Structure 1
Amino acid sequence: MRAIAVFQLKGGVGKTTSAVNLAALAASNSIRTLLWDLDPQGAATWILGVEPDRKQDKVWSEGKPIGRYIYPTQYDRLDVLAADISLRKFHQSVADKRTARDLTTDAISMLGEDYELVVIDCPPVLSPQIEGVLQAVDKILVPIEPSLLSIRAYEQSKQQLDWVKSKQWMPFVTLIDRRKSAHVKWAAEVAPKIRELLPVFIGHSASAERMLELRSPIVVCQPHVPLSRNYRALWAAVKEQLKL
């Protein structure tokens, strides 16, 4: 079983959109997949059409069995460990980085009985507790938009998480608009300097709004639009690195 975290300190870079679409593509490839929503906003849970009636924080604060908080989705082989606003207490419920790592590692080990891939949608914050979660996964997928702030956030993460091996980082370009000369220049001059960057560019697209309207991954509701093709290319790169 493999586990990846989709993480970025900077918000608004397509983190949740990427997590949802990668999970949907994995499931469509007959890989039993769990999308673990760890963001208090619960956007990934909502997009997948799940309305949780149980609070995930009790997994962390009271040690409740994690299986109680997993919901099936309408998509074959894709379940979601649903998030809700109770996760705003996550940093209070988990004592420290080591505790978070051990709890997450144990949970992933247990989930391995039912799933082949776990995709964790992390909140855009780097606390000791979130660092512990990141220590428990195989790879860290980082969406980077064509901006100095986005790159700075990635570099800050690498500095703070200096224990992460270079091969564990999987940054990729997202929200790129080829109609903007600054984005084209960034892709040509700046992106090649990010050594570990995946050879995939996720375009800026109005199709993402359609995904929210339909509450469905874009690769499912509009499989032939350019954004869906972009995500299929990203999934192919991720799948190869994970050796799935």
Structure 2
Amino acid sequence: MKTIAFYNQKGGVGKTSLAINYAYLASRSGLRTLLWDLDPQASATYVLRVNETLAPRAKALLDKNVSLEDLAIRTNYQSLFIVPASNAQRLLSEKIFDSNSGKNTISRATSSAKGSFDLVVIDSPPSLNSLSDSMLAAIDLLVIPLQPSPLATHSLEALSLHLEKIKMIDRSFTVYNMVDIRRNAHRDAISNHEKLSNIQLLSSYIPYAAEMEKMAIERAPIFEMNGPHRLAIAIESLYFEIQSKLEKIKTRPNKKE
């Protein structure tokens, strides 16, 4: 089993949309896939039409006797499950910080999913705290969605330093999202990425398209909507590139305690 997270400490970069579509494609390829919505905003939970009242509270996520399989809800799509989120989880980071073994919370939980799922996809909240540290310690690969703008690149600097400190930099990749290739600033951001950041850049990028915003209206992955062909091709390309990286990365030994 492999674990991957879509994360950026900066909000509004499209991580939830990418996490949902990536998990959907993985499940469609035959992988028994669990999407873990760790964001109290519960956007992934909403899009996949799962009731927030089914979301576990922070106490359940900290319980060593509870497995992710116990908390997983079947979605409308074959082989795709979700651990839903709700606003009740907003204090999870504080509880992890206060707990003696809290830093291993996500590692323990993902370990409990082995044998039940082939892939765990985490949609992380946009923050850098004890919860994100617990998540980063557990995953095999990190994908950082990024908008092609100077401010977005600047915010990446702090994250890059943190990833180096926790020895996660070699397992981390950025992907540019909401790209308008007609704009000079967007083209420059992509072409100059290696000069601005030491985090590896995926060759695939996601163009700006109104269909991505419609996901929240139609409450479905892009591939279940009519007509988003250009966007679907780009997301599929990203999926296969990530899968190629994931296959080459050795699974991290998770701590259960």
**Could you tell me how far 1:223 is from its partner in structure 2?**
6.6
Deviates more, 1:211-220 or 1:87-96: 87-96
1:189-221 deviations in Å (ceiling 9; x for gaps): x23434510101111110112222110011232
**Which ranges of structure 1 fall in alignment gaps of 5 or more residues?**
none
Q: Which deviates more, 218-227 or 85-94? A: 218-227
Q: Cα deviation per residue 1:33-76 (whole Å; 9 max; x = unaligned)? A: 00000000000111111113234223235556243431100000
Q: Give the corresponding residue for 1:225.
A: 229
TM-score of the superposition, structure 2-length normalised?
0.87
Within 1, Cα distance between the matches of 2:99 and 2:175? 26
Instruction: Render the CA deviation track for 1:137-171: whole Å, top value 9, x for unaligned.
Output: 10111011101221122221121232234320111
SS of equivalent residue, structure 1 residue 183: helix
Q: Helix, strand or coil: the match of 1:50?
A: coil
TM-score by length of 1: 0.92
The residue correspondences of 1:1-244 to structure 2 (distance < 5 A) are 1-56=1-56, 57-60=58-61, 65-66=66-67, 67-95=69-97, 99-161=101-163, 162-188=165-191, 190-193=192-195, 194=197, 196-222=200-226, 224-243=228-247
TM-superposed deviation, 1:125: 0.2
For the residues of structure 1 that align with 2:110 and 2:35, how far apart are their CA atoms?
12
Task: Mark the CA change 1:54 to 1:64 in structure 2 (over 3 Å): closer, same or farther.
Answer: farther
Classify the secondary structure of the residue corresponding to 1:92: helix
Contact 2:75 2:81 (C-alpha < 8 Å) held by counterparts: yes
Please tell me whether the aligned partners of residues 53 and 86 of structure 2 are also in contact (alpha carbons under 8 angstroms): no
Deviations 1:73-120 (A, max 9, x none): 000000000000011111222235973442211211110111011011
Could you tell me whether the CA contact under 8 Å between 2:107 and 2:134 is conserved in 1?
no
Query: Would you say how many aligned residue pairs link Structure 1 and Structure 2?
Result: 243
The Cα RMSD (Å) is: 2.0
Give % identity: 30
Inter-partner Cα distance in structure 1 for 2:168 and 2:216: 35
CA–CA separation in structure 2 for the residues paired with 1:118 and 1:6? 11
Shift, 1:231, TM fit:
0.8
Q: Measured at CA, do residues 36 and 223 of structure 1 come closer, stay the same or move farther in structure 2, by a change above 3 Å?
A: farther
